[in-house]
Structure 1
Amino acid sequence: MLIRRIARPMLATAFIATGINAIRRPEQLAETTQPFVDKAKTQLPLQAADLIPSDAQVLVRINGAIHIIGGLALATGKFPRLASLTLAGVIIPTTLAGNGFWNETDLDERAEQQAHFIKNVGLLGGLLITTVDTEGKPSLAWRGRKAAAIASDKVTAVLPSTAASATTAGVLAGRASHIAEVVTERAGELAEVATERTASLSKAAAEKQAKLGERAGKK
C-alpha cells in the first residue's frame, strides 16, 4: 500500500537523525545516562552487569547505532515489524534517561525536556501501531489457529467414524462368538472320543489280565 511506503520513512527519520547525533556527539547524552549505568551495574546480577559498558559514551553510541539500523530497516520496509519492535524497546530507556523533565528545576529546561518526552511518547505510539501492521496478511496467531484446525481435521479423517467403529465391533463380536461355539463343539467331540478309547483300553486290559491268570493256573 502506498501510504505505508510514505509513512514508514517519515517515522524512521526521527530515529535515524537521533542515532547519527548520538554517535557524533555522545557527550551530553552520556552525562545524563551515566547515573543510570552506574545504578544498573550495582543492582543487576553480575552476569548482566558485565554486559553493560562502564563508559556511558560507549552505551550511547551503541544505542545510536541501533536507532540508525532500525530506522533504515523501517524506512526501506525490510522486516518493518521487527524493526519497529526493536526501536520501541530502545526508545523507552532512552526517553527515561535523556528526557526526565521531572528532575529539572530550571523551568525552561524542564519545558524543553517535557516537549522531547511527549514527542518520544508519540513516536512510541507510531511504532506500536507498526508492529501490529500485517499489511493485510493473516497474523501469526490466526495462522497458528488455522494450522491447528487443519491438523485436527486430518487426524479426524484418518480415524474411523463412530458408525464404522460400531460395525467393526459387531463383526469382531460375531466372529468371537462363532469361534467359541466351534471350540465348544470340538471339545465335546474330543471328550466323547477320549471316553470311548478309555473304555476300549480298559476292556482290553481286563481280557489280557484274565488270559494271563488262566495261563498261570495251568502251569
Structure 2
Amino acid sequence: MLKQFFLCCAVVGVSGCDVNLSSLRPVKWATVDVNELRGALKDVIAAENPYPEGLETVSERSVEFGRIRQQISTLERTASNNCRAKINPRGVQPIPPNIMNGAEAFYKENYQRQNEVDNGYQECVRAIESDQLIADLKKKVDAYNKLYELKQSHDRDRMEKVERRVKDVVADYAKANNYELVVSESSTAVIFNSSEMVVDVTGGVLEKIAR
C-alpha cells in the first residue's frame, strides 16, 4: 500500500500538480452491435419517412423498364440497318485494280458517291429520332429514370437518419445507465481493460428502440 502511495506521489511529481487522478480509475464501458441497431432502426425510420407517391414501386418496375430499353435499342438498330440498305443497297464500289487510265476520274466519282451515301445515311438516321414509337418509349424511360433518382435520394436520406438515430439512442442509453464509453462490437479498439469485464448493451438499446 505504502509502495503504491509513493509511486503515485512520484507520478504527480513528474507530471506536475495538474494531474487528474480520477482519470486513473477504471472506466465503465460497454460494446454494442451497431449493425443490429441499424437493422432495427431501418424500419422505424422508413415508417417515419415513407416514400412519396409513385416511388415505392420504382424498384419493382426495373425489369419492365429494362425490357423497354432493350426494345428501343432493337428498334434503333433495325432502323439504322434499314437506312444503310436503302441508301447504299449495293455498296460503294472500290476502284478496280486493273484500271489505270481514268483512275482519277473514277476516284472522284466514287468519292462523290460516298459523300452522297454518307449524307443520306446520316439524314435517315436523324429521322429515326422522330419515330413516334421510339420517342414515346424514350419518354417512358426518362420518366422512370427521374423517379429512380428521386428514390435513390430518398434512400440516402433515410440511411443518414438511421446513422444519426443510432448515435442518439446509444448516447441516451449510455447516459441513463452511467456508461462512460460505448464502442462498436465490430471495431472494438480497447487494447487493455483492467477489470477484464465486457458488457454488451445491444439488448438494452434494442428494448429502448422498441418502446
Q: What TM-score does the superposition give when structure 1 sets the normalisation length? A: 0.30
Task: Looking at secondary structure, tell me which structure has more strand per residue.
Answer: 2
Greater fraction helix:
1
Q: Which has the higher contact order (CA 8 A, sep 6+)?
A: 2
